[in-house]
Amino acid sequence: MKTKARIIPIASTPKAVPLSTHDLAPLDGPLLDRRDRRVRDLRISVTDRCNFRCVYCMPKEVFGHDHAFLPRAELLSFEEIGRIARIFVDQGVEKIRITGGEPLLRRHIENLIEQLAKLPVELTLTTNGSLLVKKAQALKDAGLKRVTVSLDGIDDAVFKRMNDVDYPVSDVLDGIAAAAAAGLAPIKVNCVVKRGSNDDQILPLARHFRNSGHILRFIEFMDVGTSNGWRMDEVLPSADVIARINAEFPLEAIDANYPGEVAERWRYKDGAGEIGVISSVTQAFCSSCTRIRLSTEGQLYTCLFAQSGHDLRDMLRKGAGNEQLRRVIAAVWRERDDRYSEIRTAATALPGGPGKIEMSYIGG
């Protein structure tokens, strides 16, 4: 059974409906969804709060001073997250990404990292970088391997306009330096490109990160949720990003690190390093999508654009055993048929279209 999506503006948290474990298929054979995709990547959102108000993610008009974030009791505890993560690893998950909201705002996040670092997975975290100076070493000591830092411009004025809280770019650059010094490398630096807002930052960012050892990646602006006023004409296709950089610094394509990698990889012909593009809108990669998302309040989402989740928190808090959880998770994955980006139309992307979950609840 499913719960309704959290649609902004939020009146209240959707009612938790327990999942049934009746008649679940046995766990023999590989766990595949309806389109023969395996489950490999688990993204865990640890908070719905953020100290930024990025215009494409948590616009101020919607996430204002009076916005009701989740009360603490609604959040999954670290113990609950750890239990679910272990079950996913048993089901084949190889990669776990901690995200949010801003994950470094969650108190004692390093305790969760320490727990998850014991699992046989690649453990990473996506952050806006604002707390990295303070936290990078503790995260590394807790067992984190790498970080991805979001950075939507290198010009201070543009960056401040994108984060919309007047946050200076120099502090994020200091955070990246702190992460590098702590050994959280290679660092990926993600820039969401919104045509007409920050696309003039593509070349300055490329110039800045050439020869740095960090991997700069450009992401197409997506119609996640219903609050960011997405319009197709504000999406700058990755092909244009590559063309602009290639005109100044010749590039050549390189192979994916593994099948199903979402970023298309390129390297500078002069040996100055690697960049990537993530073409979520213009070249959908649903057919190889192996990602599943656990929201801050313990709902499981099988797609970034899902309209409903599956309530694991209710099961956990009603005393479900690991085997019961395992069977439900397997059943959810087997039922998965998502391919939103392949069938996106102007109508599905509009606020009047289906009510999709907000990015800050399930993480990028």
Are the beta carbons of 217 and 152 closer than 8 angstroms? no
Which candidate, 128, 127, 9, 6, places its Cα nearest to that of 63? 9
Q: Rounded to an integer, what distance in angstroms lies between the CA atom of residue 321 and that of residue 324?
A: 5
Number of Cβ within 10 Å of residue 147's Cβ equals: 30
Among residues 43, 56, 113, 142, which is the contact residue for ligand SAM, using CB under 6 A? 56
d(CA 127, CA 54): 13
**Sequence-distant (≥ 6) Cβ neighbours of residue 106 within 8 angstroms:** 46, 47, 100, 112
Closer CB to ligand SAM, 33 or 199, in the complex: 199
Angle between helices 202-209 and 238-248 (to 10 degrees): 60
Structure tokens at 54: 């990025």
Residue 221 touches ligand SAM, criterion: CB under 6 A? yes
Least CB distance from residue 3 to ligand SAM, whole Å? 21
Q: Interface residues for ligand SAM in 297-336 (CB under 6 A)?
A: none
Q: For residue 148, what is the enclosing H or E element?
A: strand 146-150
Instruction: Give the contacts of 141 (CB within 8 A, at least 6 positions apart).
Output: 110
Q: Which residues are at the interface with ligand SF4 (CB under 6 A)? A: 50, 52-54, 57-58, 100-102, 128, 150, 285-286, 289, 291, 303-305, 338-341, 360
For ligand SF4, give the closer residue by CB, 102 or 264: 102
Residue 219 contact among ligand SAM, ligand SF4, none, beta carbon within 5 to 8 Å by kind? ligand SAM
* Cα-based angle 252, 281, 336 (whole degrees, multiple of 5): 115
Shorter beta-carbon distance to ligand SF4: residue 54 or 235: 54
Contact status: 226 vs ligand SAM (CB under 6 A): no
Binding of ligand SAM at residue 364 (CB under 6 A)? Answer: yes
| Paired tokens of 309 | 């989740």
CB 220 within 8 A of CB 237: yes
Contact call for residue 219 and ligand SAM (CB under 6 A): yes
Nearer to ligand SAM, 44 or 121 (CB): 44
Q: How far is the CB of 289 from ligand SAM (least distance, A)?
A: 15
Does position 102 bind ligand SAM by CB under 6 A?
yes
167 token code pair? 């946050």
Q: Which is nearer to ligand SAM, 226 or 360 (CB)?
A: 360
**Binding-site partner at residue 222 among ligand SF4, ligand SAM, none, CB < 5 to 8 Å by type:** ligand SAM
Q: Where does this chain touch ligand SAM (CB under 6 A) — which range of 75-83, 125-133, 176-184, 318-326? A: 125-133
What does residue 128 show for φ and ψ, rounded to 5 degrees?
-80, 0
123 or 125: whose CB is closer to ligand SF4? 125
* From the list ligand SF4, ligand SAM, none, partner contacted by residue 285 (C-beta under 5 to 8 A by kind): ligand SF4
Nearer of residues 28 and 36 to ligand SF4, judged by Cβ:
36
Q: Which residues pair with 126 in a beta bridge?
A: 148
> Which residues contact ligand SAM (rule: CB under 6 A)?
50, 56-57, 99-100, 102, 126-128, 150, 190, 192, 219, 221-222, 224, 228, 359-360, 363-364
